[in-house]
Amino acid sequence: MSIQINKLHFSLLRIFLIIAIQVLVIKNIRLPWDKEGYGLFLFYPVAIMFLPSQLSKPITLIIAFCAGITVDVFYDTPGVGAGALVAMAYARPLAFEVFEVRLGIKLGQESHNLNPGFFTLLMYAAVLLLIFCFCYFSFEYFTIYYIEDIIIKTIYSFLLSLTIVALYIVIFRPKI
């Protein structure tokens, strides 16, 4: 495995902190105008989005499942977050291919700590976050009968979550 052990330990620590922020702080945020609960702030997908690019796909999927199931325990949504996070992790290589030139790296190769621009990282994160949100609410309802609610919640939660992801990118300038 070409990834350094220290880098993996740092990534796992970062994932733990992101999950802690999600379940201890962000879970308790309620918007006063959103009485129906259509908007969720979903920050924890950022933990998988910005994993090191040289991690293998199976390792990434295992980490995504463990992170998702941990959040599911606190949100009382058995398997919903885990399934959505694994789906997003599975789509991650496609996002890398789409943004390969702009990101400056290929999946599975050492990134040499390249720092792509804000808009490139935001577009990359937006694609993955949209996949995550759609899968999350599709798994939550688990039927096509509620497609209107799935789409409304996906769009609303995507926009709310993207603002937090954008703040994360600005503050921490993540490297992939």
Domain coordinates in residue numbering, the chain: 5-29+37-172
DSSP 36: T
Position 143 confidence tier, pLDDT thresholds 50, 70, 90: confident
> Shortest CA distance to 25 belongs to which of 46, 45, 48, 41?
41
Q: pLDDT digit string (tens) for 49-86?
A: 999 888 889 999 999 999 999 999 999 999 999 999 99
Q: What's CA 82's distance to the chain center, in Å?
A: 11
Find out whether 104 and 86 touch, Cβ atoms under 8 Å.
no
Query: Which residues neighbour 121 within 8 Å (Cβ) at sequence distance 6 or greater?
Result: 169, 174
Which range, 5-9, 96-100, 111-115, 118-122, is most confident?
A: 118-122
Other beta carbons within 10 angstroms of residue 163's beta carbon come to 10
Q: Which CATH architecture has domain 5-29+37-172?
A: Orthogonal Bundle (1.10)
Q: pLDDT digit string (tens) for 2-51?
A: 556 777 788 899 999 999 999 999 988 877 666 666 778 999 999 999 99
Strands (E), 13-163: none
